[in-house]
Structure formats: C-alpha cells, structure tokens
Amino acid sequence: MNMATSTEGFRLRGLRGAATCSENSEEAIKTAVTELLKELTDRNKLLPEQIISITFSVTQDLNACFPASIARKQKGWDEIALIDCQQMAVPGDLTRCIRILAYVWLPNQQPPQHPYIGNAKILRPDRSRTY
C-alpha cells in the first residue's frame, strides 16, 4: 500500500487515546508511550504509512522526556509528523497522563478504535473495552 499515491478506499480519521505513567521518569514514560502506540496500531491494524501525525499532550507532572522522541524511534516512523504539548491544568484531572490525537488513513469500512489504557480507562470507559 502506498498512501502517498492513493487513498482510494480509505478515509482520514482522527483517533484519540491515553495512557498513564507509574512515575515521572524517562523509563515510565517510554513504557506508557510504547504500550499506547502498540495498542493504537494493533487495534486499528495501522502501518506507518497510514499515520499522518500524532500530537502528544502530557499533564504538568510529566517532564522527564518528550513522548514524541520515543515514538520517533519506531521502525518506519521517520516520515510521521510528531509533536508534544502540555495538557491544560484542570483541578482534579488524572495525574501522569499522556493523551494522543492521531490522524490516520483507515479503510472506509473499518471502525476506529481509540485505546485508553491503564488508569486512563476512566477518561473514556466507553472506549476501554477489552480486545
């Protein structure tokens, strides 16, 4: 499949998701990002060429590293636009949370799957079913 030349039979979709970290460390963030991206790609049967961009937002209590720098190391992800930003600080929000917004090409008939994992399942219980 070459998404650069043909998108026939595909639809541009926005996928959301989130994961939480056990602590504010590079290793904990790497673990959460890696698991979140695996769930995103596995549940949606995504190849790197189907992913246009991913925005990572993190809560203020996560600053040990950039989630996008972890994603950038994935095989075949060198052409995907990745960026980090800080999530709004809202009282009572979930702590140590990484959220994503991914723009991807999905087959027309394929329903999008939004991965909410770890403690982030409480953000969208309707999207947190077991696969």
Q: What is the CATH number of the domain that holds 48?
A: 3.30.1330.40
Tokens for 87, please give them. Answer: 């999530």
Tokens for 93, please give them. Answer: 């929000």
Band of pLDDT at residue 2, cut at 50, 70 and 90: low
In a domain, 48, yes or no: yes
pLDDT digits (tens, 9 = 90+) for 3-34: 555 678 999 999 999 999 999 999 999 999 99
* Nearest-angstrom CA–CA distance, 106 and 12: 6
In a domain, 130, yes or no: no
CB 105 within 8 A of CB 123: no
Residue 106 has pLDDT above 70, yes or no: yes
Residue 130 has pLDDT above 50, yes or no: no
* Nearest-angstrom CA–CA distance, 131 and 2: 28
In a domain, 1, yes or no: no
- pLDDT value for 128: 54
* Nearest-angstrom CA–CA distance, 100 and 37: 9
Helix, strand, or coil here: 32? helix
Domain residues for the domain of 112 are 13-123
The percent of residues above 70 in pLDDT, for the chain, comes to 92
